[in-house]
A and B are shown apart, each in its own frame.
Chain A
């Protein structure tokens, strides 16, 4: 009692102690996030080639982006296609694997770790290069197709129809973090609900669609929001595997932004692109939240 009251006293006396403990984060947040963001907002209204001082040009970058830059629209299209196709597929896949791994067996721990691995390494440069080789005309994919009787040297990465799918498959493969979140959500579904469903004579499918899925919707919603944001920011895969080719079909927004800034030395334009992306993500997240009440099951 004595000890805790002294501690209480201490906190009251030193009101700032909380602030002090927060300081490392606050400083990092200000110096590495807020200040650079402010600078980038300023640059977005400038003609800035990195080498010489920025020149204020008003809304020029934004106007050029929306009215003159065709490649910008290609990159928006590619990014939307990628995010809107790969995220749902990845979530479905993650849920499937989570459903299998939720059953406790001796090797479950191992499998959970193993399936989580792609999430960690999948975004790396090494895997991107590996992917590029796999889908090359004489790569593993074509060799495997040869084994089942389809002799081909199809260039997967050079065809406008298939190139983006190689990136989507790579994204689906990185299902680990969504899977872990699904796993813990699955475990939290009360057993009684399934027992009650059994009593009512529900089969496996009914149980999945009437019990599991509704109770998972908050988790699905969370995963969806996080993954869509990640999808819009996809970078490494496109930069390394396809460089946006063929004909900009895989030119992701972040890659085009990088090209503008560091290849074409137009950091002002790239900053403007970054802010448009921020607004875009904000709008999409907002829309997702608006749809929440129609399909997300909230427990009271």
Chain B
């Protein structure tokens, strides 16, 4: 009798555990795909965080009341989002409205997956009167406009202002690489905190733009020598100790685990990191209490050439949508509705419409305001045009760069070896070989 009871209990426990794990394994998926041809329903997909999911859903609910159109939202993490979009594009089942990124838009346009918005801008369905021409053109691929920027942002360096204040160091915007290295050495010697300039392969773009060797459909440099200084600075930084290496803290794309805000002591922490400026709120939230995070330009030999204002992300319409008209109307709502932005605020960057960004400025948090100020007043006046859109193979080349940086950090490769391999292999990847 007792044995039977235990057996039953065991079976129940196992079944329960299985149910739980199957939930964790496939959590997050939602009802997919609206009814095709039904003019009163649309689907929209985005990647993001919890705040974005909630705000977007609220804005879509408000849209339903305003227009009677039901929009069902699908949201994913960045990585999952792109595998999901690629597979649904292959099956001609892409959501009607999708969030798009600079690094993918060209590939999707080249494959004919996105709708050209030009006719809708001309007939006024998509109102761009309050958006500057530069920002509208951010969505221009070839002859058409395939995405409308949700807002603007820029790459930047975040730093632990509290720590630097204690040391009496003030960071000026547009600092050069040499100035940065001097500060890094000083901070490392006095406190043990390191820098994180070579973070996740993000610094290469700044370096390449400053040296006029920005990658297009191939690397911009003529030989590996053009990339040697990049890896040499890294090698020196590791030797001298001021650049953090993975043996002290993992090089991660997660804001919460970034060694600037996460760690147990100065030896495995940094005083700075680089990322997109819209992440200021996220870094400030992740930082320990009493630590103020500030942002400045990324140090390069030529800030004006390196810096650029970029679209935080785009909204695009699928070429396969059954309701292009309705989808574009939703796009217009997400671009020009003050009601929508009273909910969305600046979560997707400083709103593209100047009318909207002025109207909501007071409602923004201090961090969001700081970001807006940074993009509009620090980056914009001292910057160059956006880089050309990433081609297929860029993701792989970026992955290679991260691995090479890692090898130099571990002392496995010399700067020369890394530069040689980067030049030959990344070129192959970009040229689709």
Chain A residues with a Cβ under 8 A of chain B? 49-52, 71, 106, 109-110, 112-113, 116-117, 120-121, 123-126, 137-138, 153, 155, 157-160, 245-248, 259, 261-266
Which residue of chain B is the closest to A117 with respect to CB atoms? B17
Q: Which residues of B contact A248 (CB under 8 A)?
A: 403
Interface status of B108 (Cβ within 8 A of chain A)? yes
Contact B412 A247 (CB under 8 A): yes
| A51-B86 contact in complex given A153-B267, A153-B268, C-beta closer than 8 Å | yes
B396 at the interface (CB under 8 A from A): yes
Closest CB-CB distance, B263 to chain A, in whole Å? 7
> Is the pair A124, B24 in contact by a Cβ cutoff of 8 Å?
yes
Contact of A109 with B7 at beta-carbon distance under 8 Å, contacts A121-B20, A124-B24 already known: yes
A120/B14 contact (C-beta < 8 A), A51-B107, A263-B399 known: yes
**Given A113-B14, A121-B20, A265-B86, is A153 in contact with B6 using a C-beta cutoff of 8 Å?**
no
Q: Is the CB of A247 within 8 A of B25?
A: no
Cβ of A155 and Cβ of B246 under 8 Å apart?
Answer: yes
Q: Determine which of B83, B248, B407 lies in contact with A262 in the assembled complex, contact meaning CB atoms within 8 Å.
A: B83
Selected from A52, A137, A247, the residue in CB contact (under 8 A) with B249 is A137
Are B247 and A158 in contact, CB atoms less than 8 angstroms apart?
A: yes
Known: A49-B392, A116-B14, A153-B264. 18 other contacts (CB 8 A): A51-B113, A71-B403, A109-B9, A116-B10, A121-B20, A121-B21, A125-B25, A155-B246, A155-B248, A155-B250, A155-B268, A158-B249, A246-B406, A246-B410, A247-B406, A248-B403, A263-B83, A265-B86
Contact B13 A117 (CB under 8 A): yes
- Say whether chain A's binding surface is mostly helix, strand, loop, or mixed: loop
- CB–CB B111/A246 < 8 A: no
Q: How far is the CA of A272 from the CA of B117 in the complex (A)?
A: 38
Across the two chains, which residue of chain A brings its CB closest to B79? A263
CA A67 – CA B348 in complex, angstroms? 44
> B265 within 8 Å of A by Cβ?
yes
Question: 8 Å CB contacts to A: which residues of B313-340?
Answer: none
Q: List the A side residues contacting B10 at CB < 8 Å.
A: 109-110, 112-113, 116
How many angstroms from the CA of A48 to the CA of B120 in the assembled complex?
33
Q: Tally of A-B residue pairs with Cβ under 8 A?
A: 107
Are the CB atoms of A264 and B399 closer together than 8 Å?
yes
Partner among A51, A117, A121, A245 whose Cβ is within 8 Å of the Cβ of B406:
A245
Q: Tell me whether A155 and B247 are in contact in the complex, defined as CB-CB below 8 angstroms, given that A51-B108, A137-B264, A245-B406 are known contacts.
A: yes
Report how far A117 CA is from B12 CA in the complex, Å: 12
Q: How many angstroms between the C-alpha atoms of A123 and B399 in the bound complex?
A: 26
Task: Report how far A52 CA is from B263 CA in the complex, Å.
Answer: 44
B129 within 8 A of partner (CB): no
Asked whether any CB of chain A lies closer than 8 Å to the CB of B76, the reply is no
> Which of A125, A155, A158, A263 has the most chain B CB atoms inside 10 A of its CB?
A158
CA distance A32 to B18 in the complex (A): 23
Residue of chain A at shortest CB distance from B8: A109
A158 and B246 contacting across the interface, CB-CB below 8 Å? yes
Give the Cβ gap from A140 to chain B, nearest Cβ, in Å: 13
Chain B residues near A266 (CB-CB < 8 A): 396
Q: Bound state CA distance, A50 and B3, in angstroms?
A: 54
Determine if B236 is an interface residue (Cβ-Cβ < 8 Å).
no
**In the complex, chain B residues whose CB is within 8 Å of the CB of A106:** 2
Q: Spell out B's residues near A (CB within 8 Å).
A: 2-3, 6-7, 9-10, 13-14, 17-18, 20-21, 24-25, 79, 82-83, 86-87, 89-90, 107-108, 111, 113, 246-251, 263-265, 267-268, 392-393, 395-396, 399, 403, 406-407, 410, 412
A184 → chain B closest CB, angstroms: 14
Residues of A within 8 A of B392 (CB): 49, 265
Write 15 A-B pairs (CB below 8 A) sorted by A numbering: A50-B86, A50-B87, A113-B9, A113-B10, A113-B13, A126-B21, A153-B267, A155-B246, A262-B82, A263-B79, A263-B83, A263-B399, A264-B393, A264-B395, A265-B107
Instruction: Name the residue of chain A whose CB is nearest to the CB of B267.
Output: A153
Q: Which of B82, B249, B403, B412 has the most CB of A within 10 A?
A: B403
Sorted nearest first, the 6 A-B pairs with minimum C-beta distance are A109-B6, A262-B83, A113-B10, A138-B264, A51-B111, A264-B396
Are B407 and A247 closer than 8 Å at their CB atoms?
Answer: yes
Q: Contacts of A153 on B, CB cut-off 8 Å?
A: 264-265, 267-268
Residue picked from A50, A157, A160, A246, most chain B C-beta under 10 Å: A246
Q: With A and B bound together, what is the CA distance between A123 and B21 in angstroms?
A: 9
- Indicate the member of B86, B267, B395 with the most A CB atoms within 10 Å: B86
When distances are taken between beta carbons in the complex, the residues of chain A under 8 Å from B406 are 245-247
Instruction: Tell me the bound Cα distance from A110 to B25 in angstroms.
Output: 26
B14 touches A50 (CB 8 A): no
Contact indicator B89/A50 (Cβ below 8 Å): yes
Partner of B25, one of A124, A159, A160: A124
From A129, which residue of chain B is reached at the shortest CB distance?
Answer: B24
Q: What residues on A are CB-neighbors of B108 within 8 Å?
A: 51
How many angstroms from the CA of A248 to the CA of B403 in the assembled complex? 8
A155 touches B249 (CB 8 A): yes
Across-interface contacts of A51 in B (CB, < 8 A): 86, 89-90, 107-108, 111, 113
Q: Which residues of B contact A262 (CB under 8 A)?
A: 79, 82-83, 86
Q: Would you give the shortest CB distance from B244 to chain A, in whole angstroms?
A: 11
Q: Which of A51, A159, A259 has the most CB of B within 10 A?
A: A51
Assess whether B24 is in contact with A126, with CB atoms less than 8 Å apart.
yes
CA–CA, A51 to B83, complex, Å? 11
Residues of the A chain whose Cβ atoms lie less than 8 Å from the Cβ of B111: 51-52
B118 to chain A, nearest CB (A): 22
Min CB distance B212 to A, Å, is 28
Given contacts A51-B107, A157-B250, A160-B410, are A247 and B403 in contact (CB under 8 A)?
yes
Which of A110, A124, A265 has a CB less than 8 Å from the CB of B21?
A124
